């Protein structure tokens, strides 16, 4: 039987980094669900589509192919065969991805795609609705949080490391905007699943959060293994 670990939380809470580290340490396949929405957004930007042109964005779903591949020990995201790992993290995509991910048919299509690529694998997935919508029966659910100010600082640091020019106030405003959008969405809103374990990472290092989540997973599957889940 396959294992599913779901990590949900707001933008900038460290989900992506922690999920990758936990996956590597425990041998779980890391599926970056946020990257799927970023690929749709990038495709729309490349076509020159505006957010209000929802039908055109939805029709794009029939034209795009998203793949996750490992090259030279690095996870790569391919859109129609092209490596877009860096492009999907651009400022333009950041400003538009939240709204694109709220389009009902895009959400439904991507959720089905995410379930399909997880089939038969031991996976760890992060997003805003993995434990509530994509995999409501996930074996382990974590809700990873942090204050908007701390998340803005982290995003600033990430941008600096990548040589991307950014402004703290703009990043903070964007994070608050995304939080509001994600939590009030009529489609799979961001919320903590009833059976999810809450972790506030505001004052924790990435290493501390990683170890905390590994402890939770090991505890769960130490018990679960008695039922043949190992």
pLDDT(226) > 80 = no
Element (H, E) at 168: helix 168-184
pLDDT band at residue 222 under the 50/70/90 scheme: low
Whole-number pLDDT of residue 1:
58
Whole-number pLDDT of residue 229:
40
Q: Tell me the whole-structure pTM to 2 decimals.
A: 0.82
pLDDT(73) > 80 = no
Residue-wise pLDDT for 76-89, tens only, equals: 899 999 999 999 98
Per domain, the residue ranges of the chain are 4-28+122-225
Topology of domain 4-28+122-225 in CATH is Rossmann fold (3.40.50)
pLDDT band at residue 131 under the 50/70/90 scheme: very high
Q: Cα(179)–Cα(177) distance, rounded to whole angstroms?
A: 5
Strands 123-127 and 29-32 come out as: parallel
Mean pLDDT of 24-42: 92
Mean pLDDT of 14-41: 92
Residue percentage of the chain with pLDDT more than 90: 72
Contact, 36 vs 110, CB < 8 A?
A: yes
pLDDT(38) > 80 = yes
Q: Cα(86)–Cα(159) distance, rounded to whole angstroms?
A: 12
**Average pLDDT over the chain, rounded to an integer:** 90
Whole-number pLDDT of residue 2:
81
Mean pLDDT of 177-192: 91
pLDDT(225) > 60 = no
Contact, 15 vs 7, CB < 8 A?
A: yes
Whole-number pLDDT of residue 125:
95
Element (H, E) at 32: strand 29-32
The answer to whether the Cα torsion of 76, 66, 82, 57 is positive or negative is negative
Whole-number pLDDT of residue 105:
95
């Amino acid at each position: 039987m396959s294992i599913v670990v779901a990590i949900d939380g707001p933008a900038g809470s460290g989900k992506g980094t922690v999920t990758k580290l936990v996956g590597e340490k425990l041998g779980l396949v890391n599926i970056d669900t946020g990257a799927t929405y970023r690929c749709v957004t990038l495709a729309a930007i490349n076509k020159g589509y505006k957010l209000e042109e929802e039908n055109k964005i939805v029709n794009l779903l029939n034209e795009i192919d998203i793949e996750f591949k490992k090259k030279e020990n690095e996870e790569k995201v391919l859109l129609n065969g092209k490596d877009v790992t860096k492009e999907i993290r651009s400022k333009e995509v950041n400003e538009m991805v939240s709204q694109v991910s709220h389009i009902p048919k895009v959400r439904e299509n991507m959720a089905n795609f995410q379930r399909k690529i997880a089939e038969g694998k031991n996976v760890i997935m992060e997003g805003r609705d993995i434990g509530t919508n994509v995999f409501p029966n996930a074996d382990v659910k974590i809700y990873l949080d942090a204050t908007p100010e701390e998340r803005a600082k982290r995003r600033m640091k990430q941008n600096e490391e990548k040589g991307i020019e950014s402004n703290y106030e703009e990043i903070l405003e964007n994070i608050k905007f995304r939080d509001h959008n994600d939590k009030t969405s009529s489609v799979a809103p961001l919320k903590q699943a009833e059976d999810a374990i809450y972790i506030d990472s505001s004052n924790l290092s990435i290493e501390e959060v990683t170890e905390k989540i590994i402890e939770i997973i090991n505890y769960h599957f130490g018990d679960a293994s008695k039922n043949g889940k190992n």
